[in-house]
Amino acid sequence: MNRILIGSNNVTIGKVKENKIVIDVTYDVNLLIENDSFKEYVFNVNNANLNILVTSLNKDKVTYEININKANVSFNNVSNSNNDVFLTVNLNKEDSNITVHNSVIADKKLKYIINVNHNKKLTNSFIYNNGITKEDGTIEFNVVSHVLKKSKGCSVIQDSKIITLNEANESKIEPILLIDEYECEAKHAAFIGNFNKDELFYLMSRGLTITKAKALLTNGILIGTLDVCFNEKEILRKKLEKEWR
């Protein structure tokens, strides 16, 4: 698929109004967003495959709206800034699918509010949140998945994890399933805690220091899970290394 950098060198592929950009997608494309040109993004995806990678350093809250009409969207967000993120997904036609991968490092309070609306039958949503807290960081993952009545055959998956590397204990996960239809699949999982001691012990028994062992596990949680190509993962991994020096 084509790879397009949004907001770079004044290159845009959508309608812009102040800090808002509206992008209509009708063909398969990869979009890379790596700056703070806009505070509000709207994607209208029709009969296409869209992969979005966000590595923005925004310091203000950012909102994303994704309207999916018989299309497949993969939304990947990697952040080590302290901006709150608000994401709304509307699955408006049959055979519409969304996969979300949020990978977050927080050293201050950070909030992610995600709303997924299954407006038609045979739609699927897979939401994966992975966070690491350090210093004064806390993370709140608030995910609401709503399946409307008569939206049969939907699949709804939520999986959120926060690894706490600090003493702060205010991190929170709120998985909310609003299911108004019997004939669908819906489940969620949530975890808040430190790294698995057995995994750390195994890595250290192979000669790694505790710092390198945690860095390796962090890389696996935040980067390894993303739905992006190997080259993008390598670029992100190198950026991530700076967090643990």
Cα dist from 142 to 14, 50, 158, 172, 195, whole Å:
29, 24, 11, 8, 22
Supply 179's token pair. Answer: 């299911």
- Residue 5 pLDDT: 72
Q: What is the pTM of this model?
A: 0.92
- At 10, is the pLDDT very low, low, confident or very high (cuts 50, 70, 90)? very low
The residue-averaged pLDDT of 109-115 equals 95
pLDDT at 185 > cutoff 70: yes
Segment among 25-39, 91-105, 180-194 with least mean pLDDT? 25-39
Residue 240: name the closest of 231, 82, 229, 220 by CA.
220
Contact 219, 197 (CB under 8 A): no
pLDDT of residue 18: 83
Higher pLDDT, 34 or 70: 70
Q: Of 157, 155, 107, which is closest to residue 129 (Cα–Cα)?
A: 157
Residue 80: per-residue pLDDT? 79
Is the pLDDT higher at 134 or at 177?
177
Gap between the Cα atoms of 17 and 12, Å rounded: 12
The predicted model gives 187-207 an average pLDDT of: 93
What average pLDDT score do residues 79-108 get?
A: 93
Query: Could you report the per-residue pLDDT of 40-74, keeping only the tens digit for each?
Result: 999 999 999 999 999 866 567 899 999 999 999 99
HSE-CB at 55 with a 13 A cutoff on CA atoms is 17
